[in-house]
Chain A
Amino acid sequence: AQSVSQHNHHVILSEAASLELGCNYSYGGTVNLFWYVQYPGQHLQLLLKYFSGDPLVKGIKGFEAEFIKSKFSFNLRKPSVQWSDTAEYFCAVTLFSGGYNKLIFGAGTRLAVHP
């Protein structure tokens, strides 16, 4: 069965530090990959997505992610975090079947950024 692993459940950083959140998936076929973010008290928002092409994907708010097929990974990065990046981050992979995409989520990583 397809699954997504996010290795860090809690990450604490100071402002201006660099961020990398790990995401690994288990699925041998063609994958579409997503990172969603959930700010405190807000709804789940799309941060970035990868379907094909350049494996380095740029998203909103200075985030980027790199798809490494050989490692089954899609790690999220940001060179310099801000206090406003405090949120929970979810990696997801889609399984397309029956005419719709089934999203399979990782457990999430809670990021706390201290001023």
Chain B
Amino acid sequence: ETGVTQTPRHLVMGMTNKKSLKCEQHLGHNAMYWYKQSAKKPLELMFVYSLEERVENNSVPSRFSPECPNSSHLFLHLHTLQPEDSALYLCASSARQGPTDTQYFGPGTRLTVL
């Protein structure tokens, strides 16, 4: 399934680097999400964009900076990360259909911070 794509699939970065994760959805949806999947922890919602407006920032540190230039693209800009930020970062999208809305996920970016 190629409805939601993410690049890169793997990323290794130092704590002083700046990098960006990209997500693109081809489903005509208008809400997009960033999740963090760490080992032994439930998936954590980080950010939500609805109609390109950020509607949720789930107490995420400022070293993570999202950007949603249009309804098809979502970025997560990373700078001065910590080793504990190593995780799988998942992007999802949905059609914003109210309570019966369903989110569809991309393959994720496996991030390692050295």
Residues of A within 8 A of B (CB): 4, 30, 32, 34, 36, 42-46, 49, 51, 90, 94, 96, 98-108
Contacts and interface: CB of A to CB of B under 8 A. Distances in A.
Contact of B31 (A36, A45, A100): A100
A51 B99 contact: yes
A67 to B, nearest CB: 14
Interface stretch (B12-20, B37-45, B66-74, B78-86): B37-45
B89 to A, nearest CB: 12
B30 to A, nearest CB: 10
Given A42-B107, A43-B107, A51-B99, 17 more contacts: A43-B4, A43-B106, A43-B108, A46-B104, A94-B99, A96-B99, A98-B56, A100-B31, A100-B50, A101-B99, A103-B43, A103-B103, A105-B42, A106-B42, A107-B40, A107-B41, A108-B42
Nearest to A107: B42
6 contacts: A30-B99, A46-B102, A49-B102, A96-B99, A98-B50, A104-B42
Given A45-B1, A107-B41, A94 B105 contact: no
A105 B99 contact: no
Contacts of B4: 43
Contact of B98 (A45, A96, A102): A96
Contacts of B108: 43-44
